[in-house]
Chain A
Amino acid sequence: MKGLKMTRFLTLGTALAALAAPALAEERRPTGELIAMNCGTCHGTYGRAFNDSMPPLAGMNPDKLVNAMIAFRDDTRPGTIMSRLAPAFTEEDYRAIAEYFAAQEPIPYPPEESE
């Protein structure tokens, strides 16, 4: 679906979100690579972090990732942060992000030392 789904707004009293979306919807979208780099802040550089809270995305099956984003967007999968971020992107964006991560080298399971 082209265009941004405006189902959520920043609850800081700014109505900026409502004004922003239409101008961007029909234009070029950011690349999957750039969006994915921002995912890396939580999911690890190149999606290669391993902790119980934020799953590693490197090498993830792209359909799984796309479906996860759709589920977070539609609230069929409970999320905290992800439910608020997923609506910013189109399904084409999800596919672009997924393809980027699918191409990344998966991180090996972490070695057995205590943290």
Chain B
Amino acid sequence: MTRISRRNLIAGALAGSASLSAPMLWAQGAAHRVVILGGGIGGATAAKYIRMINPEAEVTIIERDRTYYTCPRSNDVITGVLDLDTITFDLSSHRNNYGVKTIYDEVVGVDFDAHLVRTADGSDVPYDRLIVSPGVDLMIDQVEGHSHQAAETVMPHGWKAGPQTMNLRRQFLNLRPGGTVVIVAPPNPFRCPPGPYERASMMADHFRHHNPTAKVIILDPKNKFTKQGPFTKGWERLYGYGTENALLEWVPEEQGGGVISVDPETMSVETAAGTFKGDLVNVIPPMQAGRLAKALGLTNETNWCPVDQATFASTLAPDVHVIGDSCIAGAMPKSGYAANSQAKMLAHVIRSELQGQPLPVPSFANACYSLVAEDYGVSIAAIYAVNEEGKIVSTAGGVSAIDDKPNRPVLEAVYQKNWHRTFAADVFS
């Protein structure tokens, strides 16, 4: 990604600080131009739904890549139970069915005052409303000893699906008998909270069938993780977790799991609990808001984007909304489902403003299935609303119950596949 010119951005950021107190109404008679930076799950959902319920809005997506690979189910691709095709999508339906314009280019700056997006080829794209949905930035440099080169080769992250997924898959499926996989889990907050644990689970499932002396070790800077109860129970049932010959181990921070440094030369990871060597080392780095958001001045000191949680309007720039992983969304996790839900809300906010109606009462959802094994699923689900303090809170939800009903995890594994199919169609079809 090209470096954003600081000149433009500083100018833009300062100029834009004036009128932030009230949502700006669409100028009478002006074209309702919505420009969306990022054509991933958040951006693509926003484009489609805005067009669906606001046919008078002109929507343009500016995106660097022509192909999108969903992180959901990428763990299945890594472990060889799914092909890449099933997680491969593009914006052709957006163009053909919803009249969304697509510009495949990089963004080099935004003039918040003049309401213009400057792309790398020198064009200026005008907007009335800007939506920024750039995902996450993986802070490889924050991992001592790690490098961008190593992240593309021997210590991939697999946290942006596509070539990274296939790299991991190749290395994983070629693991020697009795080999070791080391997964370095990231600190909070990060994209896809259950991801590292599902990945380890699917690897252990593969070992169970194909490489029973291999093992996967998760090194964690945290002491707990999402769906921990159901995951742990599944690991006990399936992988001998907690016993001598367990296929899977989890080293939390309090047992020294926090990583001090990595060494791509020797494929080793140094922690307080000692040095771990892996035949495959999957380093999932700490994360921040997508680089574009930061470069545009949309992040605060936490390096995530503060927004009005009822409208996702940025608190740092006028007429800008930030959705998806990059934004601070109260109790909502950083998941594809959440980005999709926020995008839908945004379509309603825009419609209310276009029609001069009061802003809609927010409602959001998140549901997430994780595979503990190919035929064993667990899930989390919640509904969200905005409380009196303007913060997104959960009003109901929970994780899979842990009980002895044999069909519960069986059904949830089937639901995972079906959910992905419907979800992807909701975003990209």
* Chain A contact residues, CB within 8 Å of chain B: 4, 6-14, 16-17, 19-21, 23-24, 27-31, 33-35, 37-45, 49, 51-54, 80-81, 84-89
B396 engages A17 (CB within 8 Å): yes
The smallest C-beta distance from B416 to any residue of chain A, in angstroms, reads 9
Could you tell me the distance in whole angstroms from the C-beta of A92 to the nearest C-beta in chain B? 13
Residue among A4, A34, A40, A41 making CB contact with B348, cutoff 8 Å: A34
A35 and chain B: residue at smallest CB distance: B363
Assess whether B297 is interfacial by the CB under 8 Å rule: no
Instruction: Output the nearest chain B residue to A45 by Cβ-Cβ distance.
Output: B426
A29-B361 in contact (CB<8A): yes
Q: Are A38 and B422 in contact (CB under 8 A)?
A: no
In the complex, besides A49-B421, A54-B419, A81-B415, 5 extra interface pairs with C-beta distance below 8 angstroms are A24-B385, A30-B362, A49-B422, A80-B415, A88-B397
In the complex, whether B125 has a CB less than 8 A from a CB of chain A is: no
Taken together as a complex, chains A and B put the C-alpha atoms of A19 and B386 apart, in Å, by: 11
**A23-B387, A54-B415 known; A30-B361 Cβ under 8 A:** yes
Q: Residue-by-residue, is B358-392 near A (CB-CB < 8 Å gives 1, otherwise 0)?
A: 00111111010000000000010111010110000
List of A residues within 8 angstroms of B381 by Cβ: 81, 84-85
Give Cα A89–Cα B383 distance, bound, in whole angstroms: 9
Q: Cβ of B419: which chain A residues have Cβ within 8 Å of it?
A: 41-42, 53-54
Which of B382, B400, B422, B423 has the most chain A CB atoms closer than 10 A to its own CB? B422
How many Å lie between the Cα of A49 and that of B427 in the bound state? 13
Given contacts A80-B400, A80-B412, contact A41 B393 (CB under 8 A): no
Chain B: CB-nearest residue to A12: B226
Provide 7 A-B residue pairs closer than 8 Å at the C-beta atoms, listed in order of the A residue. Answer: A7-B396, A30-B362, A53-B419, A54-B418, A81-B379, A84-B396, A88-B396
B158-166, B316-324, B339-347 - interface stretch: B339-347
Contact of A53 among B385, B400, B415 (CB under 8 A): B415
User: Interface size of B by Cβ–Cβ distance < 8 Å?
Assistant: 46
Q: Which partner residue on chain A sits nearest B336 by CB separation? A: A41
Known: A53-B415, A80-B379. A14 touches B394 (CB 8 A): yes
The answer to whether B175 has its CB under 8 Å from any CB of chain A is: no
Q: Given the known A-B contacts A52-B418, A54-B419, A80-B408, are A85 and B348 also in contact in the complex, defined by CB atoms under 8 Å? A: no
Known: A34-B363, A49-B425, A81-B415. A20 touches B382 (CB 8 A): no
Given contacts A24-B387, A80-B411, is CB(A41)–CB(B340) below 8 Å? yes
Chain B: which residue is nearest A29 at the CB level? Answer: B361
Instruction: Determine how close the nearest CB of chain B comes to the CB of A2; give it in whole angstroms.
Output: 14
Given A53-B414, A81-B379, also A4-B425 (CB < 8 A): no
CB-nearest residue of chain B relative to A30? B363
Whether B80 is near chain A, meaning CB under 8 Å from some CB there, is no
Give the nearest-CB partner of B395 in chain A.
A88
* Given contact pairs A42-B423, A43-B422, A6 touches B396 in the complex (Cβ within 8 A): yes
CA A8 – CA B400 in complex, angstroms?
12
B81 within 8 A of A: no
Interface hits, B76-91 → A, CB 8 Å: none
Contact A38 B363 (CB under 8 A): yes
| Nearest neighbor of B412 in chain A, beta-carbon distance | A80
Indicate if B337 sits at the interface (CB-CB under 8 A): yes
* Contact in complex: A34, B344 (CB < 8 Å): yes
CB-CB under 8 A from B363, the residues of chain A are 30, 34-35, 38
CA A7 to CA B365, docked complex, whole Å: 17
Task: Please give the distance in Å from A35's CB to the nearest CB on chain B.
Answer: 5
Measured between C-beta atoms, what is the minimum distance from A11 to chain B in Å? 5
In the complex, B18 has a CB within 8 A of chain A: no
Known A-B contacts A9-B398, A42-B419, A45-B425; the reply to A30 vs B331 at CB < 8 A is: no
CB distance from B387 to the nearest CB of A (A): 5
B360 to chain A, nearest CB (A): 6
